[in-house]
Amino acid sequence: MWAGGTVETLDALRLDDLVTRRETVRDVVFKEGRSGRLCFVTVDHVVSTARGVAIREQQDIVYRDKPGASSVAASTPQRDLPSEYAETLSIVATPTLLFRYSAMTFNGHRFHYDRPYATEVEGYADLVVHGPIQATLLMNQAARLIGHVPRHFMHRGVSALTANQTFRICGRLDGDGRFDGVTLDQTDEVCMRAEGHGGAA
């Protein structure tokens, strides 16, 4: 499962750029969690063009041991009211949206498109909405509010977001022009938090 990550944008990708992407597993750590044994994997991605490095990304991924209906630990609700944010965007998390995103990103995890597997084997309430789609929508929100793609963007999964509900992408700027954003499910529980700042690439 996607746990979070950071993105540093150093240069904009341009039409006709020849782009190279290099992926490196930087760290693997095993821990014991409320839902059982966990394996945290940190993966570094470097996207380059002829001009040099354009994007550096760190992805934090967590793998659970022996999924089961009883293995999904209850999360502690963390609520942010939508009225606290300058801008919100509502998205309907349909199974079709999740299936198309899985296809586009070559993501074969069954809990994104196989509801019986997600609910009966993995123990979720419904299909699971991808962490990366939430992060992408939050980064777009940050770019709209800041006026350009933030140089530094950080995001962290807080709670699983499930399908067949309307969720919100919420964002605001603080006094220093730094972006603060969350995704909220239909009960206003925070599913992902994000921060963004820095000059345009």
Fold classification of 1-66 (topology level): Thiol Ester Dehydrase; Chain A (3.10.129)
Q: How far apart are CA 41 and CA 60, in angstroms?
A: 6
**CATH 3.10.129.10-classified regions of the chain:** 1-66, 77-201
Instruction: For the chain, report the end-to-end CA distance as a whole number of angstroms.
Output: 30
Backbone angles phi, psi at 83, to 5 degrees: -65, -15
Q: Is the pLDDT of residue 186 over 90?
A: yes
Higher pLDDT, 15 or 79: 15
Among 139, 155, 146, smallest CA distance to 199 is for: 146
- What per-residue confidence (pLDDT) applies to 71? 46
- What per-residue confidence (pLDDT) applies to 17? 96
Tens digit of pLDDT for each residue in 61-88? 988 876 554 445 445 556 777 778 878 8
Mean pLDDT of 192-197: 96
- What per-residue confidence (pLDDT) applies to 68? 54
Q: What is the mean pLDDT of the chain?
A: 90
Q: Are 163 and 183 in contact (CB under 8 A)?
A: no
Domain 77-201 = CATH 3.10.129.10? yes
Q: Is the pLDDT of residue 148 over 70?
A: yes
Element at 146 (helix H, strand E): helix 131-146
- What per-residue confidence (pLDDT) applies to 66? 64
Mean pLDDT of 28-44: 88
Q: Are 123 and 111 in contact (CB under 8 A)?
A: no
Q: Is the pLDDT of residue 14 over 70?
A: yes
Mean pLDDT of 54-63: 94
Total length of the chain? 201
Tens digit of pLDDT for each residue in 94-139? 999 999 999 999 999 999 999 999 999 999 999 999 999 999 999 9
- What per-residue confidence (pLDDT) applies to 70? 45
Tens digit of pLDDT for each residue in 151-173? 999 999 999 999 999 999 999 99
